[in-house]
Chain A
Amino acid sequence: MLRADRLWFLSWAILFLALSSVWLGSVLAPTDRYVAVSSISEAEQSLGQAFVAVSGAEKGGANVSRLLIKLNDGADLLSQSQLALGAGNFDEAASLANSSIALSGQVRDEAARLSVEAGYAAVDRDWLYLMVSVVAISIVLVVSAIGYRRFKQYYYGRLLKMKPKVAKA
């Protein structure tokens, strides 16, 4: 059987633990909220940066429709994260925001790769077009020179065969 002083100590210890957990909860909750809010802010910035990369790839001639779908997925994750933040689910909010950040990062990397590929494709295409033009111009010039020469011979040959007419006064 417990003595009275031990019982008194035990009850004080339980009370202390209970108060500590309440205090810790109140201290940690804003920290969780702060983490969630900063993750959401970072996710917003990441989406903007990813869009800039996608826009650059598009201007370089890359097909970015797949990347835009991914960015919309990232935006939906961000929206869900804000929803979770509003509901007080800070861990879930931070997790969703981090997923959005990861997706934005993937999009940024893929956009950079597509941009380089589009650059190479553009150079190859320009060379091809240049070669096609050079060949086509050469054919036009050679055929024209031969045609001109033949026509000139035909024209003067016909002119020499003509009989002069004497006009009556």
Chain B
Amino acid sequence: MTLRFQDYRNVFFGAILILVLLAASPALSSVVSSQKGGEKFSDIWLLGPNHVAEDYPFNISVGDTYTVYLGVGNHMGGSMYYLIYVKFRNQSQSLPNATLSTPSPLPAHYDLRAFVQDEGTWERPIVFSVAQAAHAGNSSFVDSLILNGRSVWVNSTAVWDSEKGGFYYQLFFELWVYNASSDSFQFHNRFVGIWLNMTG
């Protein structure tokens, strides 16, 4: 079967159209915005003293110093300004509510600020120790901590957990993000923490 001239012509014009579009692609690229696809999110993590996800401090005592590494990753499609609130609680006090996206009502004892480029990470050591604590009967009272050299009053009491056998506290970190339009920080619904057993 042989093609008629009109058929050849259609194929020819089709090829020309494709070539013209290819030739116009540099100019079109500056008009069409290149929006990045994919999910936008941030992450926050804690690593142990050896910079791996193990050997986290657990059994702690007054005067001893412990180190963890706090990290933040940005996958939001642009640079971000984060604020990390450091909070301390006992077993009965509230954590942030992930369902309602609300932070813990507990006061922040320390804060860290991080500017992170898109697809970048930020990490800082968190060195802490219990400065003052006391035990009385089946309760333990932590008066103050030293966080990265700063003395902070936490005034937290834990009762003896007979099931797990210890006085449990949690040091946790809430991730907040800067909102330029309101010139304020908003809870980013991300947090991470470690459990600590106050032994003495």
A47 in contact (CB, < 8 A): yes
Say if the beta carbon of B180 comes within 8 Å of chain A. Answer: yes
Residues of A61-83 contacting chain B, CB below 8 A: 64-65, 68, 71-72, 75, 78-79, 82-83
When the two chains form their complex, are residues B117 and A140 in contact, meaning their CB atoms are under 8 A apart?
no
Q: Give residues of chain A (137-154) contacting chain B, Cβ–Cβ below 8 Å.
A: 137, 139-141, 144, 147-148, 151-152
Kindly state the separation between the CA atoms of A68 and B79 in the bound complex, as whole angstroms: 8
Q: How many Å from the CB of B20 to the closest CB on chain A?
A: 6
In the complex, what distance in Å separates the CA atom of A114 from the CA atom of B142? 50
B24 touches A137 (CB 8 A): yes
Contact A64 B178, CB 8 Å, known A136-B23, A140-B23? no
Mark out the residues of chain A between 20 and 71 whose CB falls within 8 Å of any chain B CB in the assembled complex: 45, 47-48, 51-52, 54-55, 58-59, 64-65, 68, 71
Give the CA-CA distance A167 to B183 in the complex, in Å.
Answer: 89
Question: Which chain B residues lie closer than 8 Å to A140 at the CB level?
Answer: 16, 19-20, 23
The answer to whether A133 has its CB under 8 Å from any CB of chain B is: yes
What are 13 inter-chain pairs, A to B, with CB distance below 8 A? A47-B81, A47-B113, A48-B183, A71-B115, A72-B115, A75-B115, A78-B113, A79-B111, A82-B150, A141-B16, A144-B12, A144-B16, A155-B8
Query: Interface-forming stretch among B26-34, B41-49, B62-70?
Result: B26-34
Is the CB of A125 closer than 8 A to any CB of chain B? yes
A129 proximal to B (CB < 8 A): yes
Pair A55/B79 contact, Cβ less than 8 Å: yes
- Which positions in B face A, CB cutoff 8 Å? 5, 8-9, 12, 16, 19-20, 22-30, 78-79, 81, 111-117, 120, 122, 148-152, 178, 180, 183
B16 touches A79 (CB 8 A): no
Residue of chain B at shortest CB distance from A76: B113
Contact residues in B for A147 (Cβ distance below 8 Å)? 12
What's the minimum C-beta distance from B132 to chain A, rounded to whole angstroms?
16
Beyond A79-B113, A86-B151, A129-B26, whether A51 also contacts B19 by CB under 8 A is no
If A83-B150, A133-B23 are given as contacts, then 6 extra A-B residue pairs at C-beta distance below 8 Å, sorted by A number, are A55-B79, A68-B116, A71-B115, A83-B148, A86-B150, A140-B20
Assembly CA distance A45 to B113 (angstroms): 13
A164 to B113, CA, bound (A): 88
Minimum distance in angstroms from B155 CB to a CB of chain A: 16
Chain A, interface size: which category? Answer: 35 or more
For the complex, give the distance between the alpha carbons of A65 and B114 in Å: 13
Asked if A13 CB lies within 8 Å of chain B CBs, one says no
B175 to chain A, nearest CB (A): 15
Tell me whether A130 is interfacial, beta carbon within 8 Å: yes
Kindly list the 7 A-B residue pairs having the minimum CB-CB distance in the complex, ordered from nearest. Answer: A136-B23, A133-B27, A75-B113, A129-B26, A71-B115, A51-B81, A126-B30
Q: Which chain A residues lie closer than 8 Å to B148 at the CB level? A: 79, 83
Partner of A64, one of B9, B22, B117: B117
Q: Which of B30, B78, B122, B149 contacts A129 (CB 8 A)?
A: B30
Give the residues in chain A near B12, CB-CB below 8 Å: 144, 147-148, 151
List chain A residues, Cβ under 8 A from B115. 51, 54, 68, 71-72, 75
